[in-house]
């Protein structure tokens, strides 16, 4: 790895949804995704996975984006501060830091 190309370890599509319960249920029960984590009471953010696909859902009340819009989350290793430091000034906006037990290793 060179300093010009910091390591990225994964990505997930993020969809903004109006009804988190129905949306999670649809991806889980109809499309066969499994829920890997949920945040909030009630849930406002969820991750669902199937095969090599990761899909994140965020409640529209927690987002500046309108329902139906989306984005992408790119994951970088937080134990490599030079990677994070190299990307932040260029194009990354940190949305949330995952708790230690939810981080990719």
pTM, full prediction: 0.68
Do 15 and 26 meet the contact criterion of CB atoms below 8 Å apart? no
- Residues 62-73: pLDDT tens digits? 888 888 888 877
SS3 80: coil
- Domains contained in the chain, CATH given: 10-95 (2.60.40)
List CB contacts of 35: < 8 A, sequence separation 6 or more: 24, 28, 46, 47, 48
Write out pLDDT tens, residues 75-99: 777 666 676 676 666 555 555 555 5
The tokens for 68 are 């139906």
Three-state DSSP class for 72?
strand
- Taking residue 12's Cβ as centre, other Cβ atoms within 10 Å add up to 16
């Amino acid at each position: 790895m060179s300093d010009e190309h910091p390591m990225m370890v994964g990505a997930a599509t993020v969809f903004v949804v109006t009804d988190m319960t129905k949306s999670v249920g649809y991806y889980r029960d109809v499309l066969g995704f499994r829920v890997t984590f949920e945040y909030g009471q009630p849930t406002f953010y969820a991750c669902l996975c199937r095969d090599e696909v990761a899909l994140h859902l965020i409640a529209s009340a927690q987002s500046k984006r309108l329902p139906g819009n989306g984005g992408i989350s790119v994951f970088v290793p937080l134990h490599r501060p030079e990677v994070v430091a190299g990307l932040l000034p260029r194009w990354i906006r940190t949305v949330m830091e995952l708790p230690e037990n939810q981080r990719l290793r």
